[in-house]
Structure 1
């Protein structure tokens, strides 16, 4: 039964791309790759990134998380970004690439809290400025990697809490509802995000992943809470997620101990 649930969670989280660490090992926070890449893409409007990939900088740099991680999540530790870069044809390429590199590093830290250590860019295309000052590619391709899927909207505040764990008893259901209310009151939390990612429109992934999953005894403890949230772009993602985890722990107040892991499924720009 546990193996079946783990398989379901991994399949459902694949719809968000890989699960990347935010902050440090003690924070217990992760972000969906799709959400992180959307923020990074928006930080460089004068250039175009493609074939973007975020990977651990090395096995020796990773750390063990202080809390149980979401299924399939990368371990905490510094990351390296590799990408192809399309640049203006009339700009000095080395200086322009260095500027994009600095912008990406600053956005990763300032907007996300993503532990981005190194950015490896390959200039693979030259572009021309259009009449409106934008960028016109010499060859247009498909949708940009990391862009949100068309028609996919984050869960609105309070629209669908669905904090109940499948098969949970009344105590766990009540505890999940209590946690959901506390998390939704956190500044920067737009809503809970139980919905599946776009990849699951063609996958029979089983029961929907709950936005609040409680494992263990929420009354006497110990227990662990896994949250899946949508946050606002007006506040650093890591700070909001940390506050959401703290709110979940406080809402339970279990004497036997409670841990919380937070997975940021989307970053809402509204």
Structure 2
């Protein structure tokens, strides 16, 4: 092996490690029977898009387990280091402007985050802890750079083709490994969803399709590593904090 080959391999390995670490926590979608998870990076990008209009500015954002002691055991083997199913808590900081009273601005942002988490993703969020850490004279200009697009993977097996054919799947991805990982007792599918479809609904449909396509019909886990800005990504539930937010269902 030449020095150039070794350098390229080292760079590829470093990039892969950075990409995996960049996913953040692997958050449960739905409940213990849903067998679905989403990366914190993907979830945070959706939440930030949902509250990106005029009004208070979302700064730091973290999603964690609300009550670790009450977390049930998942019915499908989870991805490595994934959080167990159970209620989640959003912890965020915000900068407010003088155009709106602080309590009203915080309440609107909290409601928008909760609605987006429920309606666009399918996260079971029971708490939104929001802290005002800055006051701005005027609304900031510009927008955050778009998230890095998911690294696509070609469907090379019956399970992969079944997953790729589900409505709402933008592409299969390969962050933790191949897009379809076959274990001793389950199958794990890694993918990106279209922002016009709720991530949990897509994951459920993928589980059904892959289970039918694989011999023996093993349990299937789904990991969403990205949510693209597809048509409908700014629809109901993805509104700015100044908009009227429908009740979560």
Aligned match of 1:168: none
In structure 2, do the counterparts of structure 1 residues 12 and 63 end up closer, same or farther at CA, with 3 Å as the change threshold?
A: farther
Q: How many residues align?
A: 213
Quick one: distance in 1 between partners of 2:30 and 2:180?
21
Change (3 A) 1:148 1:60: farther
- Any conservation in 2 of the 1:10–1:72 contact (CA below 8 Å)? no
Question: Any unmatched runs of 5+ in structure 1?
Answer: 1-8, 130-134, 164-176, 197-207, 217-222
CA contact (8 A) 1:155 1:230 kept: no
- Mark the runs of 5 or more structure 2 residues left unpaired by the alignment: 1-15, 231-249
Question: Quick one: which of 241, 258, 269 aligns to 2:218?
Answer: 258
In the TM superposition, 1:169-248 aligns within 5 A as 177-194=157-174, 196=175, 209-216=177-184, 223-248=185-210
Structure 2 matches for 1:15-164, cutoff 5 A? 15-45=22-52, 46-129=55-138, 135-136=139-140, 149=147, 152-156=148-152, 160-161=153-154
Measured after TM superposition, the shift of residue 57 of structure 1 is 0.8
Q: Offset at 1:15? A: 3.0
Q: TM-score, normalised by structure 2?
A: 0.79
TM-score (norm 1): 0.73
Deviations 1:109-132 (A, max 9, x none): 000001111101111112244xxx
RMSD: 2.3
Does 1 or 2 have the higher relative contact order (CA < 8 Å, sep 6+)? 2
Partner Cα separation in structure 2 for residue 125 and residue 228 of structure 1: 38
Flag as ranges the 4+ runs of structure 1 deviating above 6 A.
9-12
